[in-house]
């Protein structure tokens, strides 16, 4: 299962890089230290809702869009976990089944 702070950090970094902004650009507008913003992007620190709002404002992206992207990533991870949880169907017949013979069909007696 993904970790929220890692996914949030990745989404924020992707949004910042898509705008060709530096950490310095965003940190100065968001009024957060460059080092702290870097730690948030790397998933080393949890962003408070106030900090997240400031970062989103600095990126000019609605917080709902950031959270939706994080939610989509979680949905994909959950779906992948479900697929991994389903046992694989063997592509061969177990040896004991291959050698086991069923008795010939016998008509059931009529009542």
Q: Is 26 exposed, middle or buried (0-12, 13-18, 19+ CB in 10 A)?
A: buried
Q: Which CATH number fits domain 4-74: 1.10.472.50, 1.10.760.10, 1.20.1370.20, 1.10.260.40?
A: 1.10.260.40
More confident residue, 19 or 86: 19
Show the tokens assigned to 60. Answer: 């000019």
- The string of pLDDT tens digits covering residues 53-101 is 999 999 999 999 999 999 999 899 888 877 766 666 666 666 666 666 6
So where are the chain's domains? 4-74
- What mean pLDDT value characterizes the chain? 86
**How much is the pLDDT for 88?**
62
């Amino acid at each position: 299962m993904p970790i929220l702070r890692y996914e949030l950090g990745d989404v924020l970094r992707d949004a910042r890089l898509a705008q060709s902004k530096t950490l310095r650009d965003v940190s100065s507008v968001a009024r957060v230290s460059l080092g702290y913003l870097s730690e948030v992007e790397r998933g080393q620190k949890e962003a408070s809702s106030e900090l997240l709002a400031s970062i989103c404002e600095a990126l000019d992206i609605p917080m709902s869009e950031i959270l939706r992207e994080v939610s989509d990533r979680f949905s994909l991870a959950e779906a992948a976990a479900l697929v991994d949880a389903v046992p694989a169907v063997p592509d061969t017949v177990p040896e004991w089944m291959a050698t086991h013979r069923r008795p010939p069909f016998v008509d059931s007696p009529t009542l």
